[in-house]
Amino acid sequence: DQQVKQNSPSLSVQEGRISILNCDYTNSMFDYFLWYKKYPAEGPTFLISISSIKDKNEDGRFTVFLNKSAKHLSLHIVPSQPGDSAVYFCAASHNYGQNFVFGPGTRLSVLP
C-alpha cells in the first residue's frame, strides 16, 4: 500500500500558466515533505521542502502548500516554463529521519 500517492501520472500545461502538482499521503506521522525534479537520464534534484509546522513555503516560481488535515500537499509553479518539463516526485518522512518515502512521480509537460 503506497503511503505517498501522486494520482496524476502526467500533466500538460501551456507556457506561462500555472502548474499544480498534487500529492496525498496516508501516514499521519509524516512531518517533513520534499519535492524533487528529475530529467531523463539524470538523477533527481532537490526542489523545495516544507515542515509540518508550516502550511506554505515559497522559493521563486515554486510554492509548496501543505494541508495536514487533508494529508495533502501541492506544488505550484508560476509561471511555467518549457524547462520545467520533467518528472516531479513528492517525498515524505517522519521524525525528521533519513528514510523518505517517495511517490511514483508526475510527468509535467510545459508546452510552448
Partner 1 sequence: NAGVTQTPKFRVLKTGQSMTLLCAQDMNHEYMYWYRQDPGMGLRLIHYSVGEGTTAKGEVPDGYNVSRLKKQNFLLGLESAAPSQTSVYFCASSHTGQRYEQYFGPGTRLTVT
C-alpha cell read off for 47: 526542489
Burial class (CB in 10 A: 0-12, 13-18, 19+), 1: exposed
Q: How far is the CB of 16 from partner 1 (least distance, A)?
A: 29
Closest CB to partner 1 among residues 18, 46: 46
State the binding string over 30-69 for partner 1 (x if CB under 8 A, else -).
Answer: --x-x------xxxxxx--x--------------------
Closest CB to partner 1 among residues 46, 55: 46
C-alpha cell read off for 37: 525534479
The strand pair at 56-59 and 19-25 is best described as unpaired
Closest CB to partner 1 among residues 43, 112: 43
C-alpha cell read off for 6: 501522486
**102 scored as a contact of partner 1 (CB under 8 A):** yes
How many Å apart are CA 13 and CA 99, to the nearest integer?
A: 32
Residues that bind partner 1 (CB under 8 A): 4, 32, 34, 41-46, 49, 89, 91, 93, 98-105
